[in-house]
A and B are shown apart, each in its own frame.
Chain A
Amino acid sequence: MTARMDKRFADLAAEGRPALVTYFMGGDPDYASSIEIMKALPKAGADVIELGMAFSDPMADGPAIQLAGQRALKAGQTLAKTLQMARDFRRQDDATPIVLMGYYNPIYIYGVERFLDEALDAGIDGLIVVDLPPEMDDELCIPALAKGINFIRLATPTTDEKRLPAVLKNTSGFVYYVSMNGITGSALPDPSLIGSAVGRIKAHTKLPVCVGFGVKTAEHARAIGASADGVVVGTAIVNQIASSLTAEGKASAATVAGVETLVMSLASGVRASRLAAAE
C-alpha cells in the first residue's frame, strides 16, 4: 500500500515509540484556518493526520465533532475542497501520511472512481469510512485497495473473536481500535483493558494497532501508548479549536496556536511511552 504510511510506522517502530495520530475537521472553522492547522500538526509532533470530511449526519460522532462539521459546512466546505486541502498540504509535506475520515454518502455522491482517483492524486494514504463495515466492502474498500489506497477499519469492543478475522481481512495501513462502545468524545476507559484488547487484535494481524476514543491529555497518550502502536486524538483537538473561536464563530489568533500547543503536549506524551521496539 502507500509507501508513506508503511515507512512512517516502520520508522516509528525503529524509534521505539507509538505514533501520534491527530484528527481535525477539514474546513473548521474555515478553509484558510483549517489548512494552517493541518500544516501545524506535523510541526507540533503529529505523525499521522486524519482529515475529517464534513457530513450533515455524523451518526457515530459526539456533539463536538458534529458541531465542527456544521461549522465547516456553513463555511462552504465540500468534499472537493477537503481533497484540495490535502493537495495544498502535500506541496510542503510529502512524508506525513494523510487519512481521510468520514461517512460514505458524500463519497458515493462524488462518485467512487472519481473520488479515489482524485484522492490518490491529492496524496491521500488511507480512508476511514465509519458506516462501511466489512459486509459493505464492495462499495469502496475493494476499489480503494485496488488503487493502492489503504482502507483502515475500526475494531470495537463488540468485535468479538469470531468477527475479528472478517474485520481485519481487507484492512491495511493500520487498525483503528475504538476503545469503547460509544461516540467520539466520551470518557477514556481503563488503560489496562485497552492493553489486553490491543493484544487480542495483534494476535490476528501484523498491522500496527492505533487506539482512539477518549484520549485528551499527554498522560492519556502516554498510558495508551504503552501498549498501542499509535494514539489517536480527535475530539480534544476539535474542542481546542471550538474554544478558540470568537463569539461569531470565527477563527482567532489562538486558533492555530492553541492546536499547536495541545499537539506538542500530546507528542511529549507518546514520546514518553517508549514501547519496546516492534516485535
Chain B
Amino acid sequence: MNQSPNLNSYREGPDEDGRFGIFGGRFVAETLMPLILELQAEWDKAKTDPAFQAELKDLGAHYIGRPSPLYYAERLTQHLGGAKIYFKREELNHTGSHKINNCIGQILLAKRMGKTRIIAETGAGQHGVASATVAARFGFPCVVYMGATDVERQAPNVFRMKLLGAEVKPVTAGSGTLKDAMNEALRDWVTNVDDTYYLIGTAAGPHPYPELVRDFQSVIGTEAREQLLAAEGRLPDMVIAAVGGGSNAIGIFHPFLDDKSVRIVGVEAGGKGLDGDLHCASLTAGSPGVLHGNRTYLLQDADGQIKEGHSISAGLDYPGIGPEHAWLHQIGRAEYVPIMDDEALEAFQLLTRLEGIIPALEPSHAIAEVIKRAPKMGKDQIILMNLSGRGDKDIFTVGKILGMEL
C-alpha cells in the first residue's frame, strides 16, 4: 500500500518491528509470538499477490457493495451555513458499517493460512455481526466473545450473530465489556493455536494487526479521495471521523496523511465529561501504556491498572486506541477532540431529520464535531466525514434516553 520511500511521508509506518514512533509493537505472550509472525509472513505475501487483491476487490464489489457512495449533505450544509459537507456512506455496506471491509480481508487471510476456526471480540456487536457474516459466507465455525454487560444491552446484534451460526460467549470476567472480551479472545487463541484465526475488529493489537486492519479499511479513504476529486476537482480541507479503537478513522485518514493541506480530526467519546471516569477519550485524557499487544494511549490509573471506559456508544467503549492514532496525535499530524454523549445524541437526531439518514451513535460523534466546525469555515471549503455505520442498532438506546417506549 505504501508508495516509494519518502522521508517526508506519514504513510510509511509501521517499521519492521511494528512500531509507529514509540507506539505499536508486539507485546504478547510467547505462545502467541509464532502465530503473529506466521500471520505477518502470510500478510506480506498476500498484500502483493494479485490473486488475493482480485478476490478482495471482487467480494468488495459484489458482497459488500463497494464503492460506497460519496454523498453531498446539502441540507445539513445549508443548515450549518459554512463548509460543504460530504459523507462517505460506509453505513450502506453489507451489515451496515465499515467493519465488513476488514472482516472480508481477514477471512481471506485465514483461508490462505489453512485455519479452520474463527474467533472475534465485539463490543456493540457490529464487528461480531460482520465476523459471523464472513464466517457464514466462508463456512467457518465462529466464536464471538462479548462482555456480559454488552450482551444484555445489544440483544438484537446477539440474535443476528446467532442467526448467522456464530456462538456468542458472554464474558463475565472483569467488568464484562469490550476489553474483557478481548482478553477472553486472546485466552482462547493461546489455547487453540493450531486451528484458530483471531479476527481482530479494530486497528489495534499486536503487529501486524494495526497495519493490516488499516490497509483493509484504507479502501474508504482511497475511494473517497477519488470520488471527491471527481465531484469537486479538489481535496477536502478537513477529514473527520469518530475514533474508538480507530479502524474507520484510520481507514479514511490514511490516504490523506500526505496531503498537507488536509486537516485530520479524530473524535473521541467524551462520555459524560472528561473530569471523571465516565468517558473513553484515551488520547485527550489518557497516557501511554501497554495493553492487548501494543503500546498506545490508555485510560489507566497511577498504578498502571486499566480503567473502564464509558460512552453512550458501545462501539467507542474501549479504554485504548490504535497505535497509529497515538503516533499521529503525538507528532501532531492529526488532532483528536472529545464529543460528549449529549452532543452526539443531538447530532444523531439532527442528521436523521435533515438528511433522512439514521446514523449509528459512533459516527454521531463525528457529526457533532462537523456541527461545531462547519459554521466557522467558508462556503468554499469542504469537510469529508466518515459515516461509518447505520443507527438501526442504536434505536433502543436512543429511545430509552429520549423516554420513548419501543
B-binding residues in A (CB < 8 A): 54-60, 62-63, 66, 70, 73, 78-80, 103-110, 130-136, 153-160, 163, 167, 178, 181-183, 186
Query: Which chain A residues border B300 with CB–CB below 8 Å?
Result: 105, 109
For residue B71, CB closer than 8 A to chain A, the reply is: no
Chain B, Cβ-Cβ closest to A182: B191
For residue B158, CB closer than 8 A to chain A, the reply is: no
For residue B179, CB closer than 8 A to chain A, the reply is: yes
Chain B residues with a Cβ closer than 8 Å to the other chain, count: 38
- How far apart are the CA atoms of A114 and B150 in the complex, in Å? 39
Query: Which chain B residues border A79 with CB–CB below 8 Å?
Result: 303-304
For residues 148 through 206 of chain B, which have their beta carbon under 8 Å from a beta carbon of chain A?
Answer: 173-174, 179-180, 183, 186-187, 190-194
With A73-B305, A183-B187: A158-B290 Cβ-Cβ less than 8 Å? no
Q: What would be 6 A-B contacts, judged by CB atoms less than 8 Å apart? A: A57-B174, A105-B289, A108-B304, A131-B27, A134-B33, A158-B30
For residues 284 through 300 of chain B, which have their beta carbon under 8 Å from a beta carbon of chain A?
Answer: 287, 289-293, 295, 298, 300
Q: Is the CB of B305 within 8 A of A60?
A: no
- How far apart are the CA atoms of A110 and B173 in the complex, in Å? 26
- How far apart are the CA atoms of A158 and B303 in the complex, in Å? 32
Q: Is the CB of A106 within 8 A of B304?
A: yes
Q: Is the CB of A105 within 8 A of B187?
A: no
- How far apart are the CA atoms of A207 and B403 in the complex, in Å? 66
Chain A, Cβ-Cβ closest to B17: A135
Chain A, Cβ-Cβ closest to B298: A105
- How far apart are the CA atoms of A158 and B290 in the complex, in Å? 23
A-binding residues in B (CB < 8 A): 17, 25-35, 173-174, 179-180, 183, 186-187, 190-194, 287, 289-293, 295, 298, 300, 302-306
Q: Is the CB of A63 within 8 A of B173?
A: yes
- How far apart are the CA atoms of A37 and B27 in the complex, in Å? 31
Query: Which chain A residues border B304 with CB–CB below 8 Å?
Result: 55, 79, 105-110
Query: Which chain B residues border A54 with CB–CB below 8 Å?
Result: 305
Query: Which chain B residues border A104 with CB–CB below 8 Å?
Result: 27, 290
Cβ-neighbour of B30 out of A56, A58, A167, A186 (below 8 A): A167
Chain A, Cβ-Cβ closest to B295: A108
With A135-B17, A136-B25: A62-B187 Cβ-Cβ less than 8 Å? yes
New contact pairs (5) apart from A80-B303, A135-B33, CB-CB < 8 Å? A59-B190, A63-B173, A136-B27, A158-B30, A158-B31
- How far apart are the CA atoms of A108 and B292 in the complex, in Å? 14
Cβ-neighbour of B28 out of A73, A131, A153, A163 (below 8 A): A131
- How far apart are the CA atoms of A152 and B17 in the complex, in Å? 22
- How far apart are the CA atoms of A107 and B287 in the complex, in Å? 14
Query: Which chain A residues border B290 with CB–CB below 8 Å?
Result: 103-105, 108, 131
Chain B, Cβ-Cβ closest to A80: B303
Q: Is the CB of A109 within 8 A of B30?
A: no
With A181-B31, A183-B190: A109-B173 Cβ-Cβ less than 8 Å? no
Q: Is the CB of A57 within 8 A of B187?
A: no
Q: Is the CB of A135 within 8 A of B26?
A: yes
Q: Is the CB of B173 within 8 A of A158?
A: no
Q: How far is the CB of A33 from chain B (nearest CB, A)?
A: 20
Q: Is the CB of A133 within 8 A of B305?
A: no
Query: Which chain B residues border A153 with CB–CB below 8 Å?
Result: 30
With A133-B29, A154-B29: A105-B190 Cβ-Cβ less than 8 Å? no
- How far apart are the CA atoms of A225 and B28 in the complex, in Å? 28
With A109-B300, A109-B304, A159-B34: A133-B28 Cβ-Cβ less than 8 Å? yes
- How far apart are the CA atoms of A70 and B35 in the complex, in Å? 29
- How far apart are the CA atoms of A105 and B27 in the complex, in Å? 10
Q: How far is the CB of A184 from chain B (nearest CB, A)?
A: 10
Q: Is the CB of B26 within 8 A of A136?
A: yes
Most buried by B among A55, A60, A155: A60
Q: Is the CB of B303 within 8 A of A59?
A: no
- How far apart are the CA atoms of A188 and B104 in the complex, in Å? 38
Cβ-neighbour of A55 out of B28, B193, B287, B305 (below 8 A): B305
Q: Is the CB of A181 within 8 A of B190?
A: yes
Query: Which chain A residues border B173 with CB–CB below 8 Å?
Result: 63, 66
- How far apart are the CA atoms of A232 and B236 in the complex, in Å? 60
Query: Which chain A residues border B29 with CB–CB below 8 Å?
Result: 59-60, 130-131, 133, 154, 156
Q: Is the CB of A160 within 8 A of B34?
A: yes
Q: Is the CB of A106 within 8 A of B31?
A: no
Chain A, Cβ-Cβ closest to B38: A158
Q: Is the CB of B193 within 8 A of A158?
A: yes
Q: Is the CB of A163 within 8 A of B291?
A: no
Going nearest first, the 3 A-B pairs with the smallest beta carbon separation are A109-B304, A106-B304, A182-B191
With A63-B173, A105-B291, A106-B304: A132-B190 Cβ-Cβ less than 8 Å? no
Q: Is the CB of B302 within 8 A of A59?
A: no
Query: Which chain B residues border A182 with CB–CB below 8 Å?
Result: 31, 190-191
Cβ-neighbour of B302 out of A62, A70, A109, A155 (below 8 A): A109
- How far apart are the CA atoms of A153 and B277 in the complex, in Å? 36
Q: How far is the CB of A62 from chain B (nearest CB, A)?
A: 7
Chain B, Cβ-Cβ closest to A133: B33
Q: How far is the CB of A211 from chain B (nearest CB, A)?
A: 14
Q: Is the CB of B289 within 8 A of A78?
A: no
- How far apart are the CA atoms of A105 and B307 in the complex, in Å? 13
- How far apart are the CA atoms of A133 and B292 in the complex, in Å? 13
Q: Is the CB of A163 within 8 A of B191?
A: no
Query: Which chain A residues border B180 with CB–CB below 8 Å?
Result: 57
Q: How far is the CB of A250 from chain B (nearest CB, A)?
A: 22
Chain A, Cβ-Cβ closest to B18: A135
Q: Is the CB of A59 within 8 A of B183?
A: yes
With A57-B291, A158-B34, A158-B35: A106-B26 Cβ-Cβ less than 8 Å? no
Q: Is the CB of A109 within 8 A of B31?
A: no
- How far apart are the CA atoms of A159 and B37 in the complex, in Å? 12
Cβ-neighbour of A178 out of B31, B287, B295 (below 8 A): B31
Query: Which chain A residues border B179 with CB–CB below 8 Å?
Result: 57
Q: How far is the CB of A269 from chain B (nearest CB, A)?
A: 26
